[in-house]
Amino acid sequence: MNTKTYINHLLRAFVFSLLIISCTNESSSLPIESTDKKLTIFILNDIHGQIDNFAKVKYLVDQEKTKTNVILTSAGDIFSGNPIVDNYPQKGFPIIDLMNRVGFDVSVIGNHEFDYGEANLKERMEQANFDWVCANVQTNTSVIPQPSPYTTITTNNINITFLGLVETDGKENAIIPSTHPWRVKNLTFQNPEDVVAKYAAIKDTENSDLLIALTHIGYSKSGGRLGDYQLATQFPFFDVIIGGHSHSKVDEVVNNIPIFQAGSYLNYIGKIELTITSKSIKTISYKLIDLNTITKEDAEIKSIIDNYNDEPFFNEVIGFSQINHGRAQVGDFTADALRLQMGVDVAFQNTGGVRANLDKGDITKKEIFQILPFNNPTVKYNMTVAEIKNFLKGSGTGLYYAGVTFQKNNNDIDVRDLNGNLLSDSTTLTVGVNDYIPAVYDTYFPASKIVSSKTDAETVISYLKEINNQVNYSTSNNYFKY
């Protein structure tokens, strides 16, 4: 059911209720008082450090504020994805600065909010002029201030309560979000499905007109896990669900609860227009606005964005891409660059760590930081072929690789060097990875390691500057999943 069908359903129910009231109160001369409240909620999710369209967001929000009541929300993952934001001296500062100036009211904490580490997140939360919500994290032993599970935003006598939830799918043997496990060591998380029920009555206790789930859990999940679809089905006490994490464009009604999500990377903004009567939705409509088609913008915000983008360091040309490289080809290139720059026998690159394509033409530092945005240091290990096989089999993860070849052979894996020689299980190889991989799959890696002072992106930049500045992986296909 989409929102148009939902609107018709609500209107029919409303008219029917008026008829019932009329019939049961024929002798009463008291008029029926109208208590309609108008509200617009703008939604953004999974911005990932993209700032260029914020001047357009500011223009749209300010225009709407001249007409009606407005709340501006973020459904998480503000950080990680733009070198200008991720490598600023105070990591993440530019986007919080812009969100403050645009006028955000509330944001749920997304999994990538933890990417810069606890101390940095503390600074960014304290910098923000908007509320942070998250009901399934405890920060008792961390420097991060404890976010409220929910907050109530009041505008012109309209009270809207937002409950925050973050996903916890980061590691098989732990309950943490999808971020670097070593960066959430002092935090305690609960699965979203284990905490939602305790907030069933907060609409009444907060005397709210609406209760909205502001989530970063993704649209749908299986195996008993909670996505927005399951949230609407299993916990139907929300009036609206505004989601993030799955980077989706969502305009659905599930179990009579509207669910919305506005894409990703600040390409779109969602606009929810509501009429609220007697603490319930009378009418609702939704529009997904393509920000790249908007021509009007706030001049002051545009000037601030231009100043953030005008950083010569990121525009330094360090190589040349001979073709347009897709994500898989970029993964192969990254693994090869890590292997050669680190001087190891074999290197791995996790697929989720590669976040951009590489276009034909000059390669700038900014492009490499866009490809590898998470600032993960590189790590060296000594591992036997048997240990490497155990990691590939046990983790079940798919990886880009360089330095050897892998071929599944019944219940085993054949590992060969670049000359085609089969390597025995007892052969010891040096292995280079970014430290996210052994942090997630810690049971498969030795305790002893050498941690580099350079991140994976810095290592690839050094490779281009010092070893080979020409990139062409048109025929490469170095991906393996057991």
Distance of CA 253 to CAs 232, 446, 459, Å? 9, 49, 47
CATH of domain 316-480: 3.90.780.10
Please, are residues 56 and 42 in contact by the beta-carbon 8 Å criterion?
no
Q: Where are the domains of the chain?
A: 36-309, 316-480
Give residue 6's pLDDT: 53
DSSP state, residue 301: H
Report residue 258 as tokens.
């509207």
Give residue 162's pLDDT: 99
Q: What percentage of the chain's residues is helix, strand, coil (to nearest 5)? A: 35, 30, 40
From the list 108, 128, 253, the residue with the least C-alpha distance to 177 is 108
C-alpha radius of gyration, the chain, whole number: 25
What angle separates helix 456-466 from helix 327-342, to the nearest 10 degrees? 80
Give residue 401's pLDDT: 98
Edge-first strand order for the sheet with 470-471 is 361-364, 317-321, 470-471
Write down the number of H helices and E strands in the chain.
13, 25
393 contact partners, CB below 8 Å, separation of at least 6:
413, 482
3-state secondary structure of 401: strand
Q: Tell whether domain 36-309 is in CATH 3.40.1280.10.
A: no
Burial class (CB in 10 A: 0-12, 13-18, 19+), 449: middle
Euclidean distance between CA atoms 77 and 193, whole angstroms: 20
Please, are residues 70 and 155 in contact by the beta-carbon 8 Å criterion?
yes
From the list 225, 279, 233, the residue with the least C-alpha distance to 253 is 233
Burial class (CB in 10 A: 0-12, 13-18, 19+), 351: middle
Give residue 24's pLDDT: 40
212 contact partners, CB below 8 Å, separation of at least 6:
41, 160, 161, 162, 163, 238, 239, 240, 241, 242
Give residue 2's pLDDT: 59
Region of 189 (left: φ > 0; alpha: ψ -120 to 50; beta: rest) is beta
Euclidean distance between CA atoms 107 and 371, whole angstroms: 26
What angle separates helix 93-102 from helix 118-127, to the nearest 10 degrees? 20
3-state secondary structure of 10: helix
Report residue 163 as tokens.
């409950």
Tokens 């690789």 -> residue: 401
- pTM, entire model: 0.84
Concatenating the DSSP letter of every residue in 312-368 gives GGGG-EEEEESS-B-HHHHHHHHHHHHHHHHT-SEEEEEGGG----B-SEEEEHHHH
For β-strands 240-242 and 257-262, DSSP reports them as parallel
Give residue 311's pLDDT: 87
From the list 52, 86, 241, the residue with the least C-alpha distance to 162 is 241
Give residue 34's pLDDT: 56
Phi/psi of residue 436, nearest 5 degrees: -65, -40
What is the mean pLDDT for each group of 10 consecutive residues in the chain (482 residues)? 52 43 39 74 98 98 98 98 94 98 98 96 98 97 97 97 98 94 96 98 98 98 96 98 98 98 98 97 98 98 97 94 98 98 98 96 96 95 98 97 97 97 98 97 97 96 98 95 96
**Stated length of the chain:** 482
